[in-house]
Chains A and B, each alone.
Chain A
């Protein structure tokens, strides 16, 4: 059981060159796979391909295989993909339906689209709101939320479809530190409590250092580095690939460069 990309190459419609590939990777339930890379490195394209939305929704040409729990993603229709892979983008404002009066109804939008009985819709809504930690927002107007709250509601809205995997494209890019912390906490909780596999594209490597199990670095649409999060995020080649290492790694380098000992105790004290 996993999302598996095998020798995947993808080209957008009308483009002569591949935006992604070759890429091989695996997203497993209960694990968080972080993805970083400079601009134009293929991160958003990877999200669309891994979720099956490219080419099913956006068109284009795909080579290689994308399997979701052993099923070829190309054989699934968009609403079937949505129930397996939740896809979340950067801008919370464009994630919301814009036709509902309360957060509760916004989160219910997806389950309602499936035609589920009202009782089951409500059961899913409360579960998703609890999983993300935004039960208190349920009566609020979705159009009047802060950026962080909006992104959490968008996450809950996707979760309400009970997907086994979440594909998140820079969900904290438009958020301040407080909003980023809110979303990062929620993702850690979702991964731990729901057992969802998460593919998280994120520029903020501090977030990845905190919640990712493995990290992949993309360059020019291909995988340049891959491995356990701690190893990849402290790799000296990271800066050359256009990625800023986490603050802790930078601090460690500064401390060592100044001739001090980076002891395990100090590292632990910094957290």
Chain B
């Protein structure tokens, strides 16, 4: 159930940099709508058999990313999945069970065409899945998502946990960089061969994990000192709009997911 709250336009006391009107049709969608569309894309990528599902999703995501100027960010996130893609390809190429159509023989190893195509399809599904979620992430400011969740009735603790978890990613990356620099300054070798890098993980993981745990108590008290546990509903400075097009798109996504699953279950997709 949603609770009526004052919209940004009704709060003239708020400066423009707080209201932050989104630009472009996709960015202007409500965060819940973008998540619903992403969910539909994920279901389509995995449930529609063959190349149609992932191919369609990747095409839609790329066009949307280009129109919402997030293509570069999407490519960077895609590149981060490269090690996973390589491992999927290698495993399927050489170890796909039942594959008997070798491309070539390299000593005891025999990469197969079936493994190659299956690895490629799995990679396409993985990219469709990750790019759909990444697009929603890149086009939705975290505080918009939190405000919308809050409006939809999620408690302030739940909202804070989601917000802190999302924000923790860049902060942890920053902290890892600082600790790595500090360890390098003390002579730790983090460059070169993979086993050297792996050996450097242990002195890195300790400070990252224990440092984060040590901060928890101070952070908890800092939150308490800002009345975080006060009873009643939290004031929201601005709430992302939820227009009729948003509601229509969410219904469409829901019906489409149900239809795809139903058609798949009844075997009409082949």
Contacts and interface: CB of A to CB of B under 8 A. Distances in A.
B224 A94 contact: no
Nearest to A100: B143
Interface stretch (B21-29, B95-103, B232-240, B258-266): B232-240
Given A57-B220, A102-B17, 11 more contacts: A78-B224, A79-B224, A82-B226, A87-B221, A97-B226, A98-B167, A98-B168, A99-B146, A101-B142, A122-B13, A139-B17
A79 B221 CA distance: 11
B15 A139 contact: yes
A250 interface: no
B76 interface: no
A117 B237 CA distance: 9
Given A58-B217, A94-B219, A99-B163, A118 B6 contact: yes
Contacts of A58: 217, 221
Nearest to A163: B225
A237 to B, nearest CB: 32
A109 B17 CA distance: 16
B228 A79 contact: yes
B236 to A, nearest CB: 7
A57 B225 CA distance: 10
A53 B224 contact: yes
A148 interface: no
A97 B220 CA distance: 10
Interface of B: 6, 11, 13-15, 17-18, 20, 141-143, 146, 156, 160, 163-164, 167-168, 171, 215, 217-237
Interface in A81-126: 81-83, 85-89, 91, 94-102, 104-105, 108-119, 121-122
Contacts of A101: 20, 141-143
Contacts of A119: 11, 13
A112 B235 contact: yes
A108 B237 contact: yes
Interface of A: 48, 51, 53, 57-58, 77-79, 81-83, 85-89, 91, 94-102, 104-105, 108-119, 121-122, 138-139, 143, 154, 157-158, 161
Contacts of A51: 225
A11 to B, nearest CB: 17
A79 B224 CA distance: 6
A89 B230 contact: no
A100 B228 CA distance: 14
User: Counting chain A CB atoms within 10 Å of each CB, which of B11, B20, B217, B219 scores highest?
Assistant: B219
Contacts of A89: 218, 221-222
A218 B143 CA distance: 43
B147 to A, nearest CB: 10
Given A87-B221, A101-B143, A119-B13, A157 B226 contact: yes
A104 B18 contact: yes
A25 B231 CA distance: 32
A188 to B, nearest CB: 22
9 contacts: A51-B225, A57-B220, A81-B224, A99-B146, A99-B164, A118-B11, A118-B237, A121-B237, A138-B15
User: Counting chain A CB atoms within 10 Å of each CB, which of B143, B156, B235 scores highest?
Assistant: B235
A118 B167 contact: no
A114 B231 CA distance: 8
A135 B227 CA distance: 23
A83 B108 CA distance: 73
Contacts of A97: 160, 163, 223, 226
Contacts of A102: 17-18
Contacts of A121: 235, 237
Given A89-B218, A115-B232, A82 B224 contact: yes
B234 A113 contact: yes
Contacts of A95: 222
Contacts of A161: 226-227
Contacts of B237: 105, 108, 112, 118, 121
A96 B228 CA distance: 12
Nearest to A101: B143
Nearest to A154: B222
Nearest to B163: A99
Nearest to B215: A94
Contacts of A116: 235
A88 B14 CA distance: 27
Contacts of B164: 98-99
Contacts of A77: 229
A255 to B, nearest CB: 41
Nearest to A118: B11
B179 to A, nearest CB: 15
A138 B13 CA distance: 14
B125 to A, nearest CB: 33
A184 to B, nearest CB: 21
